[in-house]
Structure 1
């Protein structure tokens, strides 16, 4: 029965009308990457990180994956504490280019709660929020904004009258057909997840969230000092790498500019 169910899921996946766009959700220019390794692997190194979001269409339903920097940054930049944040266009403006409105987005999923992945959530308040269960507990308990967590973008889903939330305890099949699956990879945050997208033409794609920020972390096991759990991070590295190998997946590190060409340039889409 398990084999039959697996085969059925694969059949549904191969027939899925699936399309994915990479959205530019900002840029982070960091003068010293020391905090990105608790073993001093990157001390003194400057680096530019891209901020990536993704829109995935399955038939007539849409998933927005991650929600980027604050749209107030659009067309400008801001420098503080050794980092310069900038952004070209908001998510909403980019979606207008392909004829999609925020109200058409069925699900808004976040890989985790850090500020550079959630700030444009308010524009998608009508959608169902998908978030790791442990991350959701942290968000609900948060009061004042801090450098890693600003609870204000989640306001539409908090409280008794809040919008619909699906808190993911482990893995989650977003559309119910096996085509897009959130995979638990805790450690960066307690409920961090990555996204497996089974494209009908391109094949399997794995979006890393912040499990990896850049390729070197994948090769030398650099664990950021601001991660919530080092052992969980290393275990998640192992799970992710095993999945990528078993599925022969294209790995896309959203913060690494060297991975921008792994998906078509917007407004072109992957299929």
Structure 2
């Protein structure tokens, strides 16, 4: 009888304190933000096999705010904020413009910069880390090699709050579960840069969403597995293509190519959120 009672007590404890009694999943929402526009006069820079000779295209530059309970992650930070309301002079085949800073967009939904707990950077190009310094209290989540390269390079000012010290940096070398419950996971996808990352967000109603970073730049580029001429490692990129596509199939995920206007339109227009 004592043994039975002990077993019963353990069972009760397991129900009370174990996984079955875990706290309800934190509410998750995701907003897409307009972080700029890029006119490309020579689309063939996105192919090392001459796939887009003579073609032009307008790309978007999108960022994302994810709310997890009371916490916020900003994924990518767009073109430099000083471009707001302006169009920059052409830089090679690229002409970039920005309508509004990320902070001004977040103000529309009542989110202040100091409320953003994490800034996740897919990679260290200026159209993705341009406004990161507007969130100096946030923990920076970035590929370790991309962080080190930026700290020594011409874009170091974009990450000044973290390079100067006093603000936390998590340098990531593999997949990273941001909130510890599998709902928001940074995926290691090297090749475009050495520390390039994509993002998996599991929304309660929409289901799994995969944000590419710059693994892909537009739909045709994804279909052909086009290799931008400026990627740092061809073999790593091909491996990341395969991994990303397999994850998308296995999870039946909604893929958002962050520079593709048609893909960005798969999510609600700001200030509405995807749930």
TM-score (norm 1): 0.91
Alpha-carbon offset, residue 218 of structure 1: 1.3
User: Does residue 182 of structure 1 match 2:192?
Assistant: no
Q: TM-score, normalised by structure 2?
A: 0.90
Name which of 139, 152, 157 aligns with 1:152: 157
- Bigger radius of gyration: 2
Question: 1:15 is paired with a residue of what secondary structure?
Answer: coil
Aligned runs of 1:1-271 on 2, under 5 Å?
15-80=25-90, 81-142=92-153, 145=154, 150-159=155-164, 161-271=165-275
Shift of 1:12: 7.6
CA distance 1:29–1:83, change in 2 (3 Å): same
Separation (CA, whole Å) in 2 of partners of 1:67 and 1:49: 16
- 4+ runs deviating over 6 angstroms: 11-14
Over aligned residue pairs, what C-alpha RMSD do you find? 1.7
Distance 1:29 1:262 in 2: 21
Which whole-Å deviations, capped at 9, do the CAs of 1:103-139 have from their partners, x for residues lacking one?
0000000000001001101110110000012212222
Q: Is the contact between residue 62 and residue 264 of structure 2 (CA under 8 Å) also seen in structure 1?
A: no
3-state secondary structure, aligned to 2:232: coil
Partner residue in 1 for 2:15: none
Classify 1:13/1:109 alpha carbon distance in 2 versus 1 (closer, same or farther; 3 Å). Answer: farther
* Cα displacement (A) at 1:14: 8.1
CA distance in 1, matches of 2:56, 2:89: 14
Residues in 1 aligned to 2:129 and 2:138: alpha-carbon distance in whole angstroms: 14
Unpaired segments ≥5 residues, structure 2: 1-17
Unaligned segments of structure 1, at least 5 residues = 1-7
| Structure 2 counterpart of 1:5 | none
